């Protein structure tokens, strides 16, 4: 006396499956086919195809990574419990064990999700040899491995036992083996699920939630990925394109052509709090030898990049909410550009790849060859502010100078010593001379770095710092690129200073460390707390003090070097050297 209804549906519509099978008043469970009394069977709510109230706006509104509010901390106990459940004899028994700690539908789905992501591994052998493979839920459970079809099938069956509406979906994916900009044709290549919670459909992918295969597709590693649990549909579409576009759960839906050309953001991109990247297409063509990329993010993030495996041919600057990058490939053709990021707090953490582009270079800009010593990112940023370099006079990463001179100022945080040096590919500056082409001037908490370039070209100004109270070494903080095209430029170094030259002393003249021969040279120095100042050439010339400056003249005849010496107090009989100038040869 049992009635059986069989329905046949086209492949791409949602079948009206049973949601639950209930036994009148008794406990709800699936009937086993071994002589269970089926009289009490009744049909309950049928699977509803996705409709208006399931849809999310596209493009992403940057609100949340998930399609419903989820508090992961509330799941901590349930997650830990689900991981420990160890039932392999039947899917029903496994679900029964998992549901002991789950009350709401969301908790039931979470327990099933956690269990599958941590217990089923991707079957790389079965993927290559389909005869070795079964996607039947019980086989997946007992062997502990499968491919996406098996993950999605097991998920669907476990939900159905738990009384949760669930669909197995199939379509195209940008997963293993995906090449940027490729087209998709033929059969679908991936499977995932939709679950019905709180009156709406939601998407998840337990295959990608469980881990990853290596590049050679021979080894699977469990690496749990929270991103693919109830992913916001406007983000899920980034790498999942369902056969039936209704299951995008988007308004408007995305076309296959857009799916193919859209930039692939992997889950790291969103998990690090990044929001958008420009351009939004995977292939960038250079304009006059340059290609530009920018990323927006929620909070301060550190970035690096590799163009064909090196970061030499670009300028990356950090912004408060993101970064900007200009690359200048030095060869024509196709170049792979990868962008990496990590949270600013993770000083030791690893950089994760968040974006990949292909840069098509049609012409090379030879002028944009950067010195080898240039370090990314370039220029000041929120990061340098944190290190105590505030209010930079030059917020941009590149400083152009026509006469070979420039001056950079900052307000310094408390207790900071600064060291700066100048580097270039085509000059043979010694360690000492790299510093002598920069003069530090301190006024209160302001520091000015005066720079005189020894010749034209591209230079790196590297800035290091340490706490005054620290005995240790200086730490590298950041760098600028300084460019000068004027080939007439040839500035001598500043005079050499000794340890008795105090931080807030200042040279007004002569600034050049190379004095003309046989001339009278005017000296004007700002120094405090000393009794006498002498300029020692062939003869000694005392300077006189007026209004905080020591002034006077010295004659450079008959000597190769000129020293400035000070008497620190009137009772001392000896002078200390503070500055040394060279004199041009006759």
> Hey, which residues are catalytic here?
148, 190, 205
Question: Can you state the angle between helices 105-119 and 76-84, rounded to 10 degrees?
Answer: 50
- Please tell me the distance from the alpha carbon of residue 356 to that of residue 449, in angstroms, as a whole number: 38
| H or E element at residue 258 | helix 256-261
* DSSP class of 487: T
Beta-sheet strands, E only, within 320-456: 322-327, 333-343, 352-361, 389-390, 398-400, 405-412, 416-423, 438-443, 446-452
SS3 464: strand
Beta-carbon-side half-sphere exposure of residue 80 (alpha carbons within 13 Å): 4
Backbone CA torsion sign across 118, 124, 129, 132: negative
Measured at the alpha carbon of residue 64, what is the angle toward residues 59 and 68, in degrees to the nearest 5? 105
| H or E element at residue 114 | helix 105-119
- CB neighbours (10 Å) of residue 49? 15
Of 234, 398, 255, 372, nearest in space to 315 by CA? 398
Rg of the chain (C-alpha set)? 35
Query: In the chain, how long is the greatest CA-to-CA distance?
Result: 127
Residue the block writes with tokens 């590693």: 221
């Amino acid at each position: 006396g049992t009635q059986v209804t069989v329905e046949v549906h086209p492949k791409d519509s949602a079948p009206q499956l049973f949601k639950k099978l209930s036994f009148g008043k008794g406990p709800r469970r699936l009937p086993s086919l071994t002589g269970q009394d089926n009289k009490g069977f009744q049909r309950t709510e049928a699977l509803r195809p996705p409709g208006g109230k399931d849809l999310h706006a596209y493009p992403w509104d940057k609100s949340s990574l998930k399609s419903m509010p989820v508090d992961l901390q509330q799941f901590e106990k349930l997650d830990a419990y689900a991981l420990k459940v160890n039932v392999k004899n039947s899917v029903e028994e496994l679900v029964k064990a998992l549901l002991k700690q789950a009350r709401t539908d969301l908790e039931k789905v979470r327990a099933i999700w956690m269990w599958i992501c941590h217990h089923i591994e991707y079957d790389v052998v079965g993927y290559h040899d389909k005869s070795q493979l079964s996607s039947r839920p019980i086989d997946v459970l007992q062997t502990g491995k499968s491919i996406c079809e098996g993950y999605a099938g097991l998920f669907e069956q476990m939900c159905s036992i738990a009384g949760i509406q669930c669909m197995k979906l199939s379509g195209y994916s940008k997963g293993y083996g995906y090449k940027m900009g490729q087209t998709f044709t033929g059969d679908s290549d991936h499977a995932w699920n939709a679950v019905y919670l709180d009156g709406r459909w939601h998407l998840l992918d337990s295959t990608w939630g469980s881990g990853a295969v290596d590049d050679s597709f021979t080894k699977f590693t469990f690496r749990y990925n929270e991103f693919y649990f109830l992913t916001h549909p406007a983000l899920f579409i980034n790498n999942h394109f369902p056969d039936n576009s209704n299951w995008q759960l988007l308004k408007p839906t995305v076309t296959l052509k857009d799916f193919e050309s859209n930039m692939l953001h992997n889950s790291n991109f969103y998990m690090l709090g990044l929001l958008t990247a420009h351009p939004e297409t995977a292939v960038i063509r250079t304009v006059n030898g340059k290609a530009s990329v920018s990323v927006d993010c929620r909070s301060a993030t550190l970035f690096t990049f590799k163009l064909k495996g090196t970061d030499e041919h670009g300028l990356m600057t950090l912004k408060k909410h993101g970064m900007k990058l200009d690359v200048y490939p030095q060869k024509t053709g196709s170049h792979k550009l990868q962008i990496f990021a990590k949270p600013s707090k993770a000083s030791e953490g690893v950089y994760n790849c968040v974006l990949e582009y292909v840069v098509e270079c049609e012409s090379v800009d030879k002028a944009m060859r950067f010195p080898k010593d240039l370090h990314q990112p370039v220029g000041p940023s929120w990061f340098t502010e944190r290190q105590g370099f505030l209010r930079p006079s030059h917020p941009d990463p590149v400083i152009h100078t026509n006469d070979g001179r420039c001056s950079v100022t900052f307000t310094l945080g408390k207790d900071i010593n600064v060291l700066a040096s100048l580097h270039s590919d085509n000059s043979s500056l010694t360690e000492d001379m790299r510093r002598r082409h920069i003069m530090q001037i301190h006024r209160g908490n302001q520091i000015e770095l005066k720079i005189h370039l020894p010749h034209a070209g591209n230079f790196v100004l590297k800035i290091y710092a340490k706490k005054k109270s620290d005995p240790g070494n200086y730490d590298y903080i950041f760098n600028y690129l300084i460019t000068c095209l004027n080939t007439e430029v040839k500035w001598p170094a500043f005079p050499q200073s000794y340890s008795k030259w105090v931080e807030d002393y200042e040279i007004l003249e002569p600034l050049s460390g190379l004095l003309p021969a046989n001339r009278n040279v005017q000296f004007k120095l700002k120094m405090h707390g000393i009794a006498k100042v002498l300029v020692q050439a062939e003869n000694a010339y005392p300077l006189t003090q007026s209004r905080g400056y020591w002034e006077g003249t010295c004659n450079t005849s008959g000597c190769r070097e000129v020293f400035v010496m000070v008497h620190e107090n009137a009772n001392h009989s000896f002078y200390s050297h503070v500055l040394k100038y060279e004199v041009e040869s006759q």
